[in-house]
Amino acid sequence: MVGVGDAIRLRQAGLRVTAARLAIMQTVRSGDHLDVEAIHRGVCERVGQVSLQAVYDSLNALHRGGLLRRIEPAGSPTRYEARVGDNHHHLVCRGCGRVTDVDCAIGHAPCLEPVSNAGFVVDEADVIYWGICPDCHPVTAEVAGLD
């Protein structure tokens, strides 16, 4: 069930409230760093046929409105999450591509201080830690002969 809060958040972000946008927010919130294809499937299950382009357009609008966060790990599809505004970071598995949240490295934004800010006022750090998840580790160790 879609909460009234999503409709309010959409309006506060200056966005029209549509069934597709509500379904996207619900799908992203119930998933785990979903890619666009998975979000599209979830939206279609919730509200019927919606074009993939409409999902892309809505995801862009929801991201610009600050309602969803876009995660773009190198070599992986773009992912989306509903956890916004807390400057957390991500762990990405090199084996399966799984993405996991990790809280801020220091505990306050922007979490990391650059050696030189080149005159910028830094307000956010986007850190991606890469490694092997627990599910892939035994397989990777065995293939690499590390077991």
Q: Per the annotation, does 111 bind a ligand?
A: no
- Report the alpha-carbon distance of residue 65 to residue 72 in Å, rounded: 18
Q: Consult the annotation and say whether 93 binds a ligand.
A: yes
Q: At 92, phi and psi to the nearest 5?
A: -125, 130
Residue partners of 10: CB distance under 8 A and separation at least 6: 16, 17, 21, 22, 25, 65, 67
C-alpha span between 46 and 25 (Å, rounded): 11
The answer to whether the annotation marks 133 as part of a ligand binding site is: yes
For residue 136, say whether it is annotated as part of any ligand binding site.
Answer: yes
Question: SS3 of 95, please?
Answer: coil
DSSP letter at 23?
H
Task: Round to whole Å and give the CA distance between 59 and 141.
Answer: 37
Annotated binding residues: 93, 96, 133, 136
Annotated binding residues for Zn(2+): 93, 96, 133, 136
